[in-house]
Structure 1
């Protein structure tokens, strides 16, 4: 079975285990300040939410250091597709008729006052590509579909990062929101949306099967008292899952 890996703190692990959810964060809140910029739409990245993982099963010292509190956190492993899949038949009729809900999408009925989620299909799982091509890092999203009509290619956001980030070998789950009211051209000749996202995150449930196949790796600088906390969390919320210690030997 193919697994992906997420480095985080013991505190975040506690929330994941307790609520059985993964948090998707808006692109305008992630650590790379250039993430989600576009050439023609102002701040569309607030409508793009990602949960960031790596496909490297070998431990990464820089990722430990960046995302697991100086290597004292944990690395979570989950199967490649950790969410429950839904189809039209799984949902109430009023949801099917009112929401653009794709068959085999990753999330249940999620609705915001100022937008619709469900721009997924084959785009929800993304292997990040690393490049220094500005046309990919800061793309044009709006293209004409007719003499007066236009469409926005939001799936171009959250797919590319600069080459300096390639050590992450990142894969990410992505949810894209299309705001109510559409988009319009501004005085600066860019496009924007009248609505703004009220939330900077979306919490998506982990499927029962994936939750039971979770694996936890303790960080290379994990203190004994923190290890006891992790063991207690596992015993309470997900007993029987695999817990391992890092193979790295790094001075505290």
Structure 2
């Protein structure tokens, strides 16, 4: 199970929309994540949803993200839908099937290719059940600042400065992997998407539409165009919502508790409801 600390208002938005918000690396709390790229415009195209694998309550996370009157939600480590890839239009995305496995994705085809965006593979490619966690998510690796800068230089920046195909030689899951050791207390587990704006002139029905998409992506990375996409919402599997575990913050009032209980009843949540075991003086 993975855990996310948030406010009661945000919990309400999650339950009403049945979606989780992804923010780009320019909006996360660690400013260094976006600044270490030699092509800083790249950070705006990498979207993350941040969780923790720590089953124990984390006092800094309560204070930073739920202001001690919020909640901690618990979901399976793959909380998303499993869209059957056989429903995809094979003319748009090449699907390689292994007859011995079933393939699925978190997205329908119209979510991969939206009116104003497209999600870059491998998240738009089929992934097997056994590899779902590895393909779509990762546990963050924490490094001292000197090692972190070396890692960015070797792992990202040297490749990003190569002409013609910068960034495309790396898988999207490679991004967002490393953080400064100052953040190690978070024990972060994150989902990562690489999302590029969809230029209006791109015609998905054209035979050679892939090359204009690559050219479009390179404009945003190399020419440092500003992306209009600031966040992205991904649908949660209904079963994950139904079995959501909720822990009430250390300073939740009786009114807060009633509010959360009402939301659980309204949305048919049967997962456990706990009160925080952390005792914090107000």
TM-score bucket of the superposed structures, by smaller chain? 0.7 to 0.9
Q: How do 1:58-207 and structure 2 match up within 5 A? A: 58-69=56-67, 71-91=68-88, 93=89, 96-99=90-93, 104-109=104-109, 110=111, 111-113=113-115, 115-119=117-121, 120=123, 122-132=134-144, 133=147, 134-137=149-152, 139-140=156-157, 141-142=159-160, 149-152=164-167, 153=170, 154-178=172-196, 180=213, 181-183=216-218, 192-193=222-223, 195-207=225-237
Q: Deviations over 1:86-105 (max 9, x none)?
A: 243022x2xx4235778533
Provide the secondary structure at the position in 1 that maps to 2:86.
helix
The two structures have a TM-score, normalised by structure 1, of 0.84
Q: Does structure 2 conserve the Cα–Cα contact (< 8 Å) formed by 1:77 and 1:215?
A: yes
Structure 1 residue 125 displacement after superposition: 0.4
Instruction: Give the gaps of 5 or more residues in structure 1.
Output: 186-190
Cα distance between partner residues in 2 of 1:67 and 1:106: 26
Q: Deviations over 1:78-126 (max 9, x none)?
A: 00110012243022x2xx4235778533223323455420433644201
Cα distance between partner residues in 1 of 2:224 and 2:150: 26
Which structure is higher in strand share?
A: 1
Cα distance between partner residues in 2 of 1:64 and 1:232: 22
Q: Does structure 2 conserve the Cα–Cα contact (< 8 Å) formed by 1:127 and 1:170?
A: yes
Q: How do 1:6-25 and structure 2 match up within 5 A? A: 6-25=4-23
Structure 1 residue 195 displacement after superposition: 4.7
The two structures have a TM-score, normalised by structure 2, of 0.76
Provide the secondary structure at the position in 1 that maps to 2:78.
coil
Change (3 A) 1:32 1:182: same
Q: Deviations over 1:195-238 (max 9, x none)?
A: 53222111111112211221000001111111111111111113
Which structure is higher in helix share?
A: 2
CA RMSD of aligned residues (A): 2.5
Q: Which residue of 1 aligns with 2:53?
A: 55
Change (3 A) 1:20 1:39: closer
Change (3 A) 1:135 1:87: farther
Q: Does structure 2 conserve the Cα–Cα contact (< 8 Å) formed by 1:54 and 1:171?
A: yes
Cα distance between partner residues in 1 of 2:217 and 2:269: 47
Instruction: Give the gaps of 5 or more residues in structure 2.
Output: 97-102, 128-133, 198-212
Runs of 4+ in 1 over 6 A off after TM superposition: none
196-205 or 113-122: bigger deviation: 113-122
